[in-house]
A and B are shown apart, each in its own frame.
Chain A
Amino acid sequence: MDPKLETLLRLGDNALVLSQQLGAWCGHGPALEEDLALTNVGLDLLGQARLWLSYAGEVEGQGRDEDALAYLRDGGAYRNLLLVEQPNGHYGDTIMRQFLFDAWHQHLLAALATSADPRIAEIAQKASKEVRYHLQRSAHLVVALGDGTAESHERMQVSLERLWPFTQEWFESDPVDAACALQGLAPAADSLSEPWHASVAAVLARATLQMPDYTGHQRGGRQGVHSEHLGHLLAELQSVPRAYPGARW
C-alpha cells in the first residue's frame, strides 16, 4: 500500500465524514446562527474532502475519482479517525467533538502546509486558513458552554470524558505515518501531541473544564477498523449512488 495514498485517504475521509455529520444538523440547530455556522463549517470540510480525495484518486491511478472514492468504498476501506464518526449527540457533544478535532486539524494542516509534496502543501495551506475560523468558533463555544450554567458545564464535562478516548489514536505512529514523515510528506503523528494538548489545555482552562487524565483509548479508524456508527453514516451518505449507479445530476 502506497503510504502517500493512505495519508490522502485519511485526510479526505476525516473531512468527508465530519462534513456529513454536520450536514445532519441542517434545519435542526438550536438557533439560526448555529445552524448556519455548522453547515458552513461542513461545507468547508466537504470542499477539502473533494481536494484530498481527487488527489488520492490520481495518486492511486486506477481511474477512481473523488465520487468513486466517497460513494463506492465500504466502511472497511474508510480511513477516518474514530472521533469524527461518533454520533452528533446533543449540541454540546457536537461542539466538543468539533473542538477536539479542529485543534488537531489546525496543527496538522499548518505542518502539511510545508509538505515536500507541493500538491499536499497547497491544499493544506488553503484548508488551514478555513480551519482557523472553525477552531476559533468551536473553542469559543466550548468556553461559553463550559463556563456557562451548572447544567451546561456538567454536560460539557461529560462530553469531554466520553470523547477523550477517541483522541489519542491520532498521535500513534504506524508504518504509513512513519513512511510519510521520512519522506517529508507529512509530520510525524506523535509530533502533534504536545501542541495539541497545549491548545486544548488553554481552552479547557478558560472553560473551567477538567482535562481527563486517563490514557486508555480506542484505536483503529486510520487502519479501517471502525466503530458501529460509520456503517450507518455511510448507508445514508452513499444511498443515492448505490441505488442508481452511474446516475448524473
Chain B
Amino acid sequence: MVDADALASVGAVSQARVATEQVLQWLDEVMDPEVPVVSVVGLGIVREVVWQYGPDATPQLQIVVTPTYSGCPATEVIAAAIRHKLASHGVAPVEVRTRLSPAWTTDWMSAEAREALRAYGIAPPVERAPDADGRQVIDIGALLDPSRRAAVPCPLCRSTKTRLLSQFGSTACKALYQCNSCLEPFDYFKPH
C-alpha cells in the first residue's frame, strides 16, 4: 500500500481543491474490507467530505466517517483505504475523522448497496432499524416471539421459508440464517 504522507512529501501530490462530488465518486470505489461488494459510501459510513483551511490558508480535505459497530476491526483499515485511494488521485494528506453521533444505521445503506449484497449472497436488511438512535428500552418478551420476526428471503433462491440460526454470523453486523427450501445457510445483514 502506498503511504499517503510519503507521496505528499516527495511532491507527487497537488493540493488543488477537488470538488467534493468528485471525492465522493472516488470514495465510492473504496470497498468495505469485510463485504467487498459494497463501498464505504454505499454503506453510509462516509458522513461528510469537506475542505478545511489551516492557519496559513492551506486547504486540507477532511473525511468524516462513522463506525458500523464499536468493535468493528475494519474501522482502521477503512481509514487507511480512504487515504490511499485519495492519494492515488493526488489528494494528500487527508484527515479522516471518526464521529459517533448520530450512530450508524443500516437505514443509511443505498438501494444499490442492498442489491449488491443480495447478489453477493448476503440478505440485505428487510426492515428499518428497530432502534436507529439507540434510546429505546426493549420489550424482551415480545422480541422472543418468533412470529414477530420479519421473514428474511433467501438471497439465493428467494424463498421466504428461512430460519434464524444465530443472531451473530461471520461478523457482528450479520446474523446466520438457513433456507428451508434450498437448505443453504446464509448471512443476513441485521437491521441496526
Task: Let me know if B137 and A195 touch, CB within 8 A.
Answer: yes
Contact B71–A140 (Cβ < 8 Å): no
CB atoms of B134 and A124 under 8 A apart: yes
Identify which of B73, B130, B135, B144 contacts A113 (C-beta below 8 A): B135
B69:A125 contact, CB within 8 angstroms: no
Number of A-B contacts (CB under 8 A): 122
Q: Mark A195-208, 1 if CB is under 8 A from B, else 0.
A: 10001001100100
Q: How far apart are B40's CB and chain A's nearest CB, in angstroms?
A: 18
Interface size on A, as a range, is: 35 or more
A225 — which chain B residues lie within 8 A by C-beta? Answer: none
A103: CB under 8 A from chain B?
Answer: yes
- Is A64's CB within 8 Å of the partner chain B? no
- A124–B136 Cα distance when bound, in Å, is 11
Asked if A202 and B176 make an inter-chain contact with CB atoms under 8 angstroms apart, the answer reads no
B134 touches A36 (CB 8 A): no
With a 10 A CB-CB cut-off, give which of B100, B167, B192 has the most chain A CB atoms: B167
Find chain B residues with CB under 8 A from A44 CB.
Answer: 69-71, 172
Chain A residue numbers with a CB within 8 Å of B176 are 33, 36
In the bound complex, CA of A41 to CA of B137 (Å):
19
Known A113-B135, A122-B100, A127-B134; contact A202-B71, beta-carbon cutoff 8 A: no
The complex places the Cα of A140 from the Cα of B171 at a distance, in Å, of 19
Min CB–CB distance A101 → chain B (angstroms) = 13
Roughly how many angstroms separate A133 CA and B135 CA in the complex, as a whole number? 14
Say yes or no for A165: interface residue by CB 8 A criterion.
Answer: no
B103 lies within 8 A of chain A by Cβ: yes
Given A139-B144, A203-B144: A132 and B138 interface contact (C-beta under 8 Å): yes
Interface string of B121-147 (1 = CB under 8 A from A): 000000001111111111011011000
A44 to B: closest C-beta gap in Å: 5
B170 partner residues in chain A, CB cutoff 8 A? 36
A45 to B70, CA, bound (A): 8
Complex: A34 Cα to B138 Cα, angstroms: 23
Q: Choose one: A107, A127, A133, A195; the contact of B70 (CB below 8 Å).
A: A127
Task: Tell yes or no: A137 within 8 A of B by CB.
Answer: yes
Q: Which of B131, B166, B171, B172 contacts A33 (CB 8 A)?
A: B166
The answer, yes or no, to whether A65 is at the interface (CB within 8 Å) is no
Is there a chain A Cβ closer than 8 Å to B169's Cβ? Answer: yes
Q: How would residues 59 to 93 of chain B score, 1 for a CB under 8 Å from any chain A CB and 0 otherwise?
A: 00000000101111100000000000000000000
Shortest beta-carbon contacts, A-B, top 5: A47-B71, A47-B70, A125-B134, A122-B101, A37-B168
Chain A residues at the B interface, C-beta cutoff of 8 Å: 33-34, 36-37, 40-41, 43-48, 50-51, 103, 106-107, 109-110, 113-114, 118, 121-130, 132-133, 135-137, 139-140, 143, 195, 199, 202-203, 206
Known pairs A122-B101, A143-B144 / 13 extra A-B pairs, C-beta < 8 Å = A33-B166, A33-B176, A43-B71, A44-B71, A48-B71, A103-B140, A110-B138, A125-B103, A128-B135, A129-B129, A129-B131, A129-B132, A199-B141
Q: What residues of chain B have their CB less than 8 Å away from a CB belonging to chain A? A: 67, 69-73, 100-105, 129-138, 140-141, 143-144, 165-172, 176, 190, 192
22 contacts between A and B (CB under 8 A): A33-B166, A36-B170, A41-B172, A46-B71, A47-B69, A47-B71, A48-B70, A48-B71, A50-B70, A110-B137, A114-B135, A122-B101, A125-B102, A127-B70, A132-B130, A133-B167, A136-B143, A136-B144, A139-B140, A140-B167, A203-B141, A203-B144
